[in-house]
Copies of this chain bind each other. A is one copy, B any other.
């Protein structure tokens, strides 16, 4: 599928927002799902790049991308009008029940990307959205948010300060926690939520080869009654329940 880049905007020194026109993908997407972008039409870089859907509006979808390596660097050279080969929407996104009213969204750095689309859908349903962002020094990223005024936004200085900040937020009465960020941050959020007996979903990252469930490259260790097993981040996830994710145990 081809998606046409219609807008490119720097958000911070190393993060940029890409808006694509692609009705088929935009209409089918739900929060927490990802796309797999082909960077160019040669063999280098070889693999597609997995990126969370940052937002969807009408026929367009957008990505919030941190420039970290060859592929994302290459992307910054795209000019509006360029047509990009994309697969998606892929994977299983966030879920909640109608009865739940108040949500805590915890974003770690550019991990925030997958939470904005989620916030949009929650707000559309009249839910209450609290966004807790860490680390504070990265807060310029929030300039990417289209509707910051509709959320309650707070910050954790860094990972050390995060448990306290989250506990304070949970104390306000939160029905469900959603989190996306580095593994270390998600582990803290998972533990804190579980300690408070509040359901929590995590959006997990793994290096991916295919993004569509055929390579088994994106293994996430999952606790089951029969012991640990591996699930696919690209197809069974990227969103998993906090209880099922095993951050450390090996077999």
Of A44, A45, A74, which is in contact with the most chain B CB atoms at under 10 Å from its CB?
A44
A31–B249 Cα distance when bound, in Å, is 70
As for how many copies of this chain the complex holds, the number is 2
- A12 at interface by CB-CB < 8 Å: no
1/0 per position for A44-56, CB-CB distance to B under 8 A?
A: 1100000000000
Residue of B nearest to A77 (CB): B41
- A42 at interface by CB-CB < 8 Å: yes
A43–B40 Cα distance when bound, in Å, is 12
Closest Cβ of chain B to A4, distance in Å, is 16
Chain B neighbourhood of A40, CB < 8 A: 40, 42
A40–B41 Cα distance when bound, in Å, is 11
1/0 per position for A38-72, CB-CB distance to B under 8 A?
A: 00101111000000000000000000000000000
Chain B neighbourhood of A44, CB < 8 A: 42-44
Residues of A11-50 contacting chain B, CB below 8 A: 40, 42-45
A residues with CB within 8 A of B = 40, 42-45, 74
Q: Could you write out 6 A-B pairs with CB less than 8 Å apart?
A: A40-B40, A40-B42, A42-B42, A42-B44, A43-B44, A44-B44
Top 9 nearest A-B pairs (CB, nearest first) are A43-B44, A42-B44, A44-B44, A42-B42, A40-B42, A42-B45, A43-B43, A40-B40, A42-B74
